[in-house]
Amino acid sequence: MNKNIPAVEGGIPVLKEFLAIGQPDISEAEKREVLDTLSGIWLSKGPKVQLFQEQFARYVNASGALALNSCTAALHLSLIASGIGPGDEVIVPSLTFVATANVVTYVGATPVLVDVDPNTLLISVPEIQRALTPRTRAIIPVHLYGRPCPMQPIMEIARQKKLTIIEDAAHAIGTEENSQKIGSYGDFTCFSFYATKNICTGDGGMVTCNENNQKKLAHMEILSLHGMSTDAWKRFSPAGSHVWGLVEVGYKYNMTDLQASLGIHQLNRLEGFLDCRQRLVDHYRNLLRQEKRIQLLPKDPTNGRHSHHLFPILLDTDQLRINRDKFIAALKGENVGCGNHYPALHMQPYYKKTFSLKENDFPVSTKAHNSLITLPLHTKMNLADAELVVTALSKLLNFYSR
């Protein structure tokens, strides 16, 4: 059987076993901490959540941090605490996960989509400026794939227009711009600890704030606990008081000590994770530097740090006999886990219909929507795995070339 024939066409796959696009990296330290929690008397929000919050705030140089059950919850509470609601507009990049815009609709505000920069695929500063109206109240820059957005000009727009900046850093723990960690720029910064993120707690999130928003962060903590004035640990621990009041209607958004048990040790291992991801990305880039049928995003910013949550490539479908979706299916046939991060928001049926959006309204996002492929990248991989991925990629590029 010809090894140059794609597996989906009847050939032999390059990889003998499936290589996942992302995978959690859990050590014995995390397992011991979880068992310690299970052996204790407290599983929900308690002392380990508090410890994780303190450690996280120190790591990103933030004034405060609140652990939650998802990054989506963090974004939602940030909007509420900022007083954003019906009649307000919030600027969001079209190329992002749906949660970035969905949370704006949660509070009754309008997500205003803008196109992204053609080189980085991050929110375009000129497009932000064009989208500003008297109703604009906030901007949500997304540090997509772990690359930092140009925060200085975005912060300058915010200062001039008195806007709130809520950073979507779901991909960006450890990311830096101008030697400043993401998590200490905007009014609020929201992180994800989903199973495949750079650090994971199974699921979960964190919101950090600058020094001007600590009172709002305290308000967000109340909102995350149904609107109750104290959490369960403060009510039922030996030194706690059973007295509490419902001060407003809130949500059930808190993190648990079981999740924080993972987070405490994952955070301690983060720098090693980031070094591993950097080595894999450098190897990918070296192996793919001569390939003309794909486009790589620019190298890491010289004045910052990319945390490399994902490794995206742009497929030049004009040079191929199949489209991007069929190419992804063929890559999976070679046992290469891959995906499309992300389908553009203006191409999603809900946003397309609700806001009467068209493909040519956001040409850069549309191109990415049709050509993006994210390749495997995680700390369970080694350089040989990256080489096999590139072998499979080259095999398909050669077979399907026009």
Q: Please tell me which residue in 45, 48, 197, 332 is annotated as part of the active site.
A: 197
Largest CA distance in the chain: 74
Average pLDDT over residues 59-84: 98
Residue 352 pLDDT exceeds 60: yes
- Residue 240: pLDDT band with limits 50, 70, 90: low
What pLDDT does 231 receive? 65
The pLDDT tens digits of the residues spanning 113-154 come to 999 999 999 999 999 999 999 999 999 999 999 999 999 999
What pLDDT does 242 receive? 64
Sequence-ordered list of residues with C-beta below 8 angstroms from that of 361, at least 6 positions apart, any chain: 115, 346
Average pLDDT over residues 363-377: 97
28-268 maps to which CATH number?
3.40.640.10
- Residue 234: pLDDT band with limits 50, 70, 90: low
CA-nearest of 347, 359, 291, 360 to 319 is 291
What pLDDT does 143 receive? 98
Q: Is 197 a catalytic residue?
A: yes
* Residue spans per domain, the chain: 7-23+270-400, 28-268
Beta strands in 198-342 (DSSP E): 205-209, 294-296, 304-305, 311-315
What pLDDT does 2 receive? 75
Nearest-angstrom CA–CA distance, 195 and 378: 11
- Residue 233: pLDDT band with limits 50, 70, 90: low
Residue 142: phi and psi, rounded to 5, are -115, 120
Helix (H, G, I), strand (E, B) or coil at 111: strand
7-23+270-400 maps to which CATH number?
3.90.1150.10
The pLDDT tens digits of the residues spanning 155-205 come to 999 999 999 999 999 999 999 998 899 998 999 999 999 999 999 999 999
Nearest-angstrom CA–CA distance, 32 and 82: 39
Kindly report the pTM of this predicted structure: 0.95
What pLDDT does 342 receive? 95
What pLDDT does 229 receive? 73
The pLDDT tens digits of the residues spanning 281-340 come to 999 999 999 999 999 999 877 788 999 999 999 999 999 999 999 999 999 999 999 999
**Token pair of 295 as six digits:** 């486009």
